[in-house]
Amino acid sequence: MNVARKLACAVVVAVCAVSLAANWLAPEGYAKQFRETPNAPPSHQHWLGTDDVGRDRFARVLYGTRISLLLAPAAALISTALAVLVGGLAGYLGGIWLRLARGFTDLFLSLPWLFLLITVRALLPLNVSPMVSVLITFFVLGVLGWAASARVLSTSADGLRNSDFILQARASGLHGPRLFFVHVLPNLKPVLYAQFWISIPVFILSEANLGILGLGVAEPMPSWGSLLRELEGLISFREEPWKLAPLLLLIVVMTSFQLLLSNEEVTA
Amino acid sequence: MVSEKALLSKLSPEDMPATEVSQRKTLLWKIARHLGAMAALVLLGGLLSATLVRLAPGFDSDERELDPRLNAESVQALRQSRAGEHKIFSFYAGYLRGALHGDLGVSHALGQPVQALLSERWPVTLRVAGVGLLLAWLLGATLAFTACLWQRPIYEIFGTTVSGVFLCIPAAALALLSVILNKPGYLAVALIVFPKIYRYSRNMLAKAYALPHITAARARGLGEVRILAWHVLPIAGPQMIALAGITVSVALGASIPVEALCGLPGIGQLAWQAALSRDLPLLVNLTVLVTLVTLLANSGADVMNYVLRPHDA
């Protein structure tokens, strides 16, 4: 691992650790309103100032980071599982199943990701409790984000189907689910891990896009998307640079993810 | 195993016309299959969006029903006007019948014919996404070629850093920043798309430059521009053309948050409004349109590759 990747790993671990310690670092929580000091600049009490209803921005950044960084991997897990179900199985079964799965994947890939995501999220209930909105947002990301991974997995599984060791396993009498779970799936692991890790930054950015458009996590619960929405009220960078803190943190974390994923994985 | 090309080269001249006819037939069959697959995908895309809207919570509700000035008969008439949308397959069949005759239906939310809405808004999207895409290619390709031609670390670091930063900013945040800085929407689209162009182009060019015959050409004293034009571009070119097709879809997707947040009345903003108001006719038309444009862009790239390098197809 080179220095840049070590540094990136350290940044991601540090940000995760700090966000997990949000309860201790910001014990008053993300929803407490300091009504006497709305729109306050940074101070000893509020390191990143307060928002227009007096909520501590630093606390919101901590809790928002925690939500985004914990739930993006959960969404990535859903999408990777679906990719195995559609792409991996179809590649293993081959024939008509592979053609059907590729057609279905092509259908999803022929729609621009943002168009699909925004449309589907907007169609789902928006006036729900914050916790439900978090679950809906990341579930939608997981359910819609499988297509690209499924395409990669179907190609890999298709290649494995005709490999010597699978033919030998078949000749030995192995077939059906046992052959898939014992011999095919373990050999797909490297591709699966790569697809899982690639999906995480994609889902973090997608959630941020939804949040800025008002389709993400509902108030008062923070996420990177809802925190970035605050940029709408930004007058100028010079007068209120602290409002850019969530964006800068997002850039730092995303850059770290980019460095962590090797070139081969990113371009896969 | 003997390749198909090797077999063709061994054929006698008398056999060639028959081979050409067979090749032409194969090509026509491929085109027909491709067009068939495209049509199927477009139709399925429309059906998928129609099904999603139909299943969406609150599909049945209509704000106009809350108008206290309307009497029971009017409310009933309103409900009756949407009754056809409840059975999704019959709605979709009706929509396709109308579309074949040039009738794309009427938007519930905006109360206007979809055709009129699309025709008045597409120039805005064409400008935002088109100019943005052009700028993105200018920036991305220039940076990638510069890094490859003058192989100095400074160009590489600059390109990677700038593209990396923009790759990490959500499309909607770039749209917001363009509003704050009072910059045009197409600039936001350009900055959303250019990092992808730079990264992929740079990778493709780097792979082409790493080939042994390029090293041999350089050792024989060929100039960098000549190497690029004669040896690198023929290898990386087809992939870059394919990338051009893909970036159309990316630019189209980026235009939704940009138009929605910058207040630009284009197709992206229309899609945003249609989704929020669960406007079935509008959303089905937009899905079909977006799918068609994406598939046409990708097919256009394939055709261009075939025209430029027919023997590789």
CATH of the domain at B202: 1.10.3720.10
Buried b (16+ CB within 10 A) or exposed e, A131-163: eebbebbbebbbebbbbbbbbbbbebbbebbee
B86 and B178 both lie in a single domain: no
Q: Calculate the average pLDDT of chain B.
A: 85
Average pLDDT over residues B115-132: 95
B193 and B52 both lie in a single domain: no
B90 and B134 both lie in a single domain: no
B91 and B137 both lie in a single domain: no
Q: Sort A43 into a burial class: Cβ within 10 Å, 0-12 / 13-18 / 19+.
A: exposed
Is residue B194 in a domain?
yes
CATH class of A3-267: mainly alpha
Q: Which residue of B has its CA nearest to A126?
A: B276
B183 and B264 both lie in a single domain: yes
Neighbour count for residue A174 (Cβ, 10 Å): 14
B59 and B191 both lie in a single domain: no
User: Where are chain A's structural domains?
Assistant: 3-267
Q: How confident is the model at residue B110 (pLDDT cuts 50, 70, 90)?
A: confident
Smallest Cβ distance to A107: which of B45, B260, B278? B45
> How far A37 CA sits from the closest chain B CA (Å)?
25
Q: Write out pLDDT tens, residues B50-61.
A: 888 877 776 666
B74 and B151 both lie in a single domain: no
How many structural domains comprise chain B? 2
Is residue B311 in a domain?
no
B143 and B212 both lie in a single domain: yes
Say whether the peptide bond before residue A220 is cis (omega within 30 degrees of 0): yes
B148 and B258 both lie in a single domain: yes
Is residue B139 in a domain?
yes
Per-residue pLDDT of chain A (268 residues; tens, 9 = 90+): 688 889 999 999 999 999 999 999 999 899 999 988 898 999 999 999 999 899 999 999 999 999 999 999 999 999 999 999 999 999 999 889 998 998 889 888 888 888 889 888 888 888 889 999 999 999 999 999 999 999 999 999 999 988 899 999 999 988 888 999 999 999 999 999 999 999 999 999 999 999 999 888 888 999 999 999 988 877 777 888 899 999 999 999 999 998 888 654 444 4
- Tell me the residue range of the domain where B53 lies: 18-95
All residues of chain B having their beta carbon less than 8 Å from the beta carbon of residue A120 are 52
B123 and B78 both lie in a single domain: no
**pLDDT reading at B311 higher than 70:** no
B122 and B231 both lie in a single domain: yes
B86 and B193 both lie in a single domain: no
Listed by number, the residues of chain B in 4-63 with a beta carbon closer than 8 Å to a beta carbon of chain A are 37, 40-41, 44-45, 48-49, 52-53, 56-58
